[in-house]
Amino acid sequence: MRVVKVNEDAIENILSDLLKRSPNHYDEYQQSVDEIVENVKKNGDQAVFDYTERFDGAKIDKDNILVTEEEIQEAYEQVDDALIEVIRKAIRNIRDYHAKQRQNSWFESREDGVMLGQKIMPMESCGVYVPGGKAVYPSSVLMNIIPAHVAGVKNIIMTTPPGKDGKVTPNTLVAAKEAGADKIYKVGGAQAIAALAFGTESIPKVDKIVGPGNIFVALAKKAVYGNVSIDSIAGPSEILVLADETANPRYVAADLLSQAEHDEMASAILVTTSETLAEQVTKEIDGFLKQLSRKEIMEKSLEAFGYILIAKDMKEAVDVANAVASEHLEIMTANPFDVMTRIKNAGAIFIGAYSCEPLGDYFAGPNHVLPTNGTAKFFSPLSVDDFIKKSSIVYYSREALEPVHKDIEFFANQEELTAHANSMKVRFEEKEG
């Protein structure tokens, strides 16, 4: 990892490096993705089947694209009972946390004959994309399905790529069943996103698509946005640890590597006021790399996007953290709650030595689908809010409208929208006549 003293130029260069990881910087893939999306939109199932055979090596057709109850039961037989129990514990925590996010419709009546309000309704359907291939993440299944379920979405449709044998990974199926998926289809990649966005003979069109994926999935979500809603166009994972001289260097090193192991594009940053801690963390990282299984991935990640930043004081360190706006932010300082109050931009904040990032990934309850690439400055974690829609309610009686109608007519005429003004005027023309 590069050790850099904090200054304006250094931060600007680091932010520039990090932003290169954004899907918005992979235009060379966009044409290929657009072709896939258009083909699925035009040819439906047949395009989906062709791409699944081409990219996943699996022969899928209308008779086997939908995962059956028998396949789900077979998956339960293959998954360790201990894992199923942990999944159920995690589900309880995730559901309890998201239940507190539910909103209720509200209405306000006034004595002058006005009633205003807001009607809260769940979306009718959503699509949850779950990656396959190199890594299997049942935790992501839970984090995407449960908030939709809590929100009251009636049809939760999941898609995930099959293996060459035409089957879905057992851990993924069990997690989906436990979380509350209604249907699971064997399709991945950009073709799955297009199928969910436009519908095919087998796969229903949905109102919103959520879930992580590779660059092709991210760009496909970008391409279909507007036809459906999406959660975000997520980039590679990232962590920033904010630490002072009181931090345990072994904990810090372990947590930095917990994100670096995701892929070569992941980012791990330590911002500290202690040069001694920086040296100790570097040694600990070297030691862990000799022990851990994804050594090559972590080394590439740290070489490209790993930094240790030395700040002159905690204020400067906090300023750096707010500038980076990391997906995951850990605070390991003498007064972590005080530091937390000064953090403005972060996807998720982990406070203290024992609140490590994997706690949030798997178990604590808050969602682990978080804004990346600095978008925590204006985006939030996935939540129940992502699966609801709001309608404004307006009611005025004649008695309530009469004293204000001329004000509204005047306003409309000032904008030269005479039909707007007339819509108001006709309601009182008898009186004026």
Residues making up the binding site for substrate: 237, 259, 262, 328, 361, 415, 420
- By DSSP bridging, strand 114-122 and strand 106-109 are antiparallel
Which residues, 6+ apart, have CB-to-CB distance to 301 below 8 Å?
260, 261, 262, 263, 264, 265, 266, 267, 268
Beta partners for residue 330, in sequence order = 241, 350
Q: How many residues does the chain have?
A: 433
**Given 98, 149, 328, 368, the catalytic residue:** 328
Report the distance separating Cα 19 and Cα 343, nearest Å.
Answer: 21
String of DSSP letters for 85-104: HHHHHHHHHHHHHHHTT---
> Which residue reads 């993924």 in tokens?
172
Residues of each annotated binding site for NAD(+): 129, 191, 214
CB 223 within 8 A of CB 378: no
Residues of each annotated binding site: 129, 191, 214, 237, 259, 262, 328, 361, 415, 420
**Given 284, 327, 330, 409, the catalytic residue:** 327
String of DSSP letters for 16-40: HHHHTTSGGG-GGGHHHHHHHHHHH
Cα-to-chain-centroid distance, residue 105: 25
Determine whether 328 is an active site residue.
yes
Active-site residue numbers?
A: 327-328
